[in-house]
Amino acid sequence: MSDVHSEQLLSEVAALPAMPGVYRYFDAEGQVLYVGKARNLKKRVANYFQKNHGGTRIGHMISKIARMETTVVRSEAEALLLENNLIKRLNPKYNILFRDDKSYPYLKITAAVDGGPRPLVFPRMAYYRGAVDRKHQYFGPYPSAWAVKESILMLQKVFRLRTCEDTVFNNRTRPCLLYQIKRCSGPCVNLIEPADYASDVLNAQAFLQGDTQAVLDALEQRMVVHAERLEFEQAAELRNQMSALSKVLHQQSMETGTDKDVDILAVKVLGGKACVNLAMVRGGRHLGDRAYFPVHVDDAHAIFMQDEEEGNGKGKEHAINQRVEVQVLEAFIAQHYIDVPLPPALITSEPVSKQLMEALSEQSGVKTAAVHNPREQRRIWLEMAVKNAAIQLARLLAEEGSQQARTRALVDALDVAPDNLDTFRIECFDISHTAGEATQASCVVFHHHKMQNSEYRRFNINDITPGDDYAAMRQVLMRRYSKLAEAGRDSPDATPPESATPQAPALENPKPPAAKESNTLRLPDLVLVDGGKGQVSMARDVFSELGLDLAVIVGVEKGEGRKVGLEELVFANGREKVYLGKDSAALMLVAQIRDEAHRFAITGMRAKRAKVRVGGSKLEDIPGIGPKRRASLLQRFGGIRGVASASIEDIATVEGIARDLAEEIYRALH
């Protein structure tokens, strides 16, 4: 393989030290290809370049390597942690990667401050998502928002802690509905003593930590004390509280004295896809689970297998024992617990390495053990997680199969032959406005068998006659594709424009030979416009002017009576209309994309319209308007809308507002 790599790269490989470390491979465009760890950097990395790996996955990856970076560390455990930090941050193309942009939710109980403001004397219970701090108490993480809200509802029934915001709490003069239905003890209007409320807070915290028997004992002692004092009403309240807690514990089917904080991890691999199901037990309660679907599983496992067989000196038998399920599970554990607190125990469906667990324990400061063959309650939890992993993976494969089937149905219905069905790209445009006001165009993208939200675009339409949808469509298509046309004309392989008559053959997509799939240098395989002959004619004129392929333009024309399912497809290159049929999978896909474009345009238009109606700028952004003048204007006209609807003469009557400043305000708000 050395003949395809630069002398500089090979000399860097030869100069590597025989120490533990992490290596990163980059292609010619700077994209990270692979991140790996090694006990011996020199031996492991040199192995990639000294052997001919042929047409294998690892050979294909090595042929792309243009640059390398390495980091030397003190131990193999440190290398393992750094490797997965980099994988999560750099998103390499040949590593197993778990993508999860959502942070975990927590149940938060605010800190109590004796003698402070009233809201701080009575801590609040709330749903929380974000960075945690030491000031308040956080319980979790929970697998879903639903799990947090269920726990809050349960704690309201048993301990009646408040959930209202501090501003609401400060302004109550009588108890709210939650007090009436016995979900709150009414601290806002002093219906409970601070000491009793503090006891409820402590009991709720103990319950969330799994100390349920201690909570029941404390409640029983308080009940006995009240009964001895002949305070039967208070004793009855505590009796009801104990009864509610016992009912909750029975519903949870929980055995006190068992595990308090445990994560159960089950992995399933099928058809090149994998699912890791994470079930969470916190405070002895099973809170639910969440499924994760990694990417690059096949490529990463093939490289890992060959890498292990050839590079670590343990032989082929060791590599074969590294099942893909084990690799996926270890990758999840290493990446997931970078940002998430590590519980004292992990229950796993596959055996994981002691080295990994020791490294994680060292990183988190929490001694954690992984149990592969659990017994009793743990076995029941693991069986549930395994079953859920299988269900979630089957659902994913079914959804992907149906998505691919819809794409294939549309391709067949339109009689087009894309090079690769998985990269078939559709861009759809829609125009939205209210009686010509706040006109916006939307562009949504369908790619890899699903909508790509990150590639959506909105276009503010200016300098047209209000309500002229054709002019708006012309403007958005020009802005979207003019740079593409220029790139095509600059390319030496670009096909020159031909006559734009209906009988003209379709043009080749004008893209450079080495162009990547991107928004800027690739003409979509299909351009959908929401409209019939008029919109398609306008799109045809734009594409003819730019020298782009007319065959990709398709209009979605409303059927008779504008009924859903009766739509017809109109073509810019002179083809006859196509009716797909109301039960067609192709029509379902077209309708989904069109409706998404309409939704995206509508939301943008409404936001723009609201901004226009209340003033394009805030008063504070206008030069010469400070806090006093702003307050005078808002007081005089009753709010920003009133200022926006006022005339220059009216604005000038406000104290401190001269005529020229009034004109400036009027212009800014209109």
Q: Kindly state whether residues 460 and 423 are assigned to the same domain.
A: yes
- Output the pLDDT for position 253: 42
DSSP category for residue 514: T
Please state at what angle helix 41-50 crosses helix 297-311, rounded to 10 degrees.
Answer: 110
Q: Kindly state whether residues 608 and 621 are assigned to the same domain.
A: no
C-alpha span between 423 and 165 (Å, rounded): 49
Residue 257 falls inside a structural domain? no
pLDDT at 431 over 90: no
Tens digit of pLDDT for each residue in 184-213? 989 998 888 888 898 888 888 887 877 766
Residue 653 falls inside a structural domain? yes
Domain boundary among 228, 252, 276: 252
More reliable by pLDDT, 307 or 164: 164
Q: Kindly state whether residues 457 and 373 are assigned to the same domain.
A: no
Residue 402 falls inside a structural domain? no
Q: What is the domain-level CATH number for residue 652?
A: 1.10.150.20
At which residue do the structure tokens 């003033």 appear? 615
Residue type, 545: E
More reliable by pLDDT, 221 or 586: 586
The model's confidence at residue 630, banded by pLDDT at 50, 70 and 90, is confident
Q: Kindly state whether residues 509 and 568 are assigned to the same domain.
A: yes
pLDDT at 614 over 50: no
What SS3 state is found at 465?
coil
Tens digit of pLDDT for each residue in 651-661? 888 888 888 88
Residue 413 falls inside a structural domain? no
- Which of 102, 106, 109, 141 lies closest to 124 in space, CA to CA? 109
Residue 333 falls inside a structural domain? yes
C-alpha span between 626 and 141 (Å, rounded): 45
C-alpha span between 284 and 257 (Å, rounded): 8
Domain boundary among 252, 283, 314: 252
C-alpha dihedral sign at 328, 333, 335, 339: positive
What are the strands, taking DSSP E only, across 435-525? 437-447, 450-451, 457-460
Q: What is the domain-level CATH number for residue 366?
A: 3.30.420
Q: Kindly state whether residues 127 and 217 are assigned to the same domain.
A: yes
pLDDT at 646 over 90: no
Tell me what the mean pLDDT of segment 451-466 comes to: 86
Q: What is the domain-level CATH number for residue 476?
A: 3.30.420.340
- Which of 294, 306, 321 lies closest to 58 in space, CA to CA? 306
- Output the pLDDT for position 313: 47
Residue 400 falls inside a structural domain? no
Specify the number of domains making up the chain: 5
User: Any residues with CB less than 8 A from the CB of 504 and at least 6 apart, and which?
Assistant: 498, 550, 573
State the DSSP string of 359-408: HHHHHHS---EEESS--HHHHHHHHHHHHHHHHHHHHHHHHHHHHHHHHH
Residue 369 falls inside a structural domain? yes
C-alpha span between 254 and 149 (Å, rounded): 19
Q: Kindly state whether residues 422 and 562 are assigned to the same domain.
A: yes
Q: Kindly state whether residues 650 and 568 are assigned to the same domain.
A: no
Tens digit of pLDDT for each residue in 535-590? 899 999 999 998 888 888 998 887 665 566 677 888 888 888 888 777 778 888 88
- Output the pLDDT for position 349: 92
- Looking at 39-159, list the stretches that DSSP marks H as alpha helix, in order from N- to C-terminal side: 41-50, 57-63, 76-90, 118-121, 145-159
pLDDT at 224 over 50: yes
DSSP category for residue 584: -
- Output the pLDDT for position 244: 64
User: Any residues with CB less than 8 A from the CB of 87 and at least 6 apart, and which?
Assistant: 35, 95, 96, 97, 331, 335
- Output the pLDDT for position 427: 94
- Output the pLDDT for position 341: 82
CA–CA–CA angle 46, 48, 52 (5° rounding): 120
Q: Kindly state whether residues 587 and 462 are assigned to the same domain.
A: yes
Q: Kindly state whether residues 293 and 318 are assigned to the same domain.
A: yes
Range of the domain at 21: 2-90
Q: What is the CA radius of gyration of the chain?
A: 32
pLDDT at 68 over 70: yes
Locate 111 and state its tokens: 């800190």
What SS3 state is found at 483?
helix
Residue 34 falls inside a structural domain? yes
What SS3 state is found at 109?
strand
Domain boundary among 394, 426, 446: 394
C-alpha dihedral sign at 283, 289, 290, 296: positive
Q: What is the domain-level CATH number for residue 72?
A: 3.40.1440.10
Q: Kindly state whether residues 606 and 628 are assigned to the same domain.
A: no
The model's confidence at residue 275, banded by pLDDT at 50, 70 and 90, is very high
Mean pLDDT (the chain) is 79
Q: What is the model's pTM? A: 0.59
- Output the pLDDT for position 276: 93
- Which of 654, 648, 638 lies closest to 668 in space, CA to CA? 648
pLDDT at 446 over 70: yes
Q: Kindly state whether residues 281 and 351 are assigned to the same domain.
A: yes
Q: Kindly state whether residues 237 and 274 are assigned to the same domain.
A: no
Tell me what the mean pLDDT of segment 612-633 comes to: 68
pLDDT at 513 over 50: no
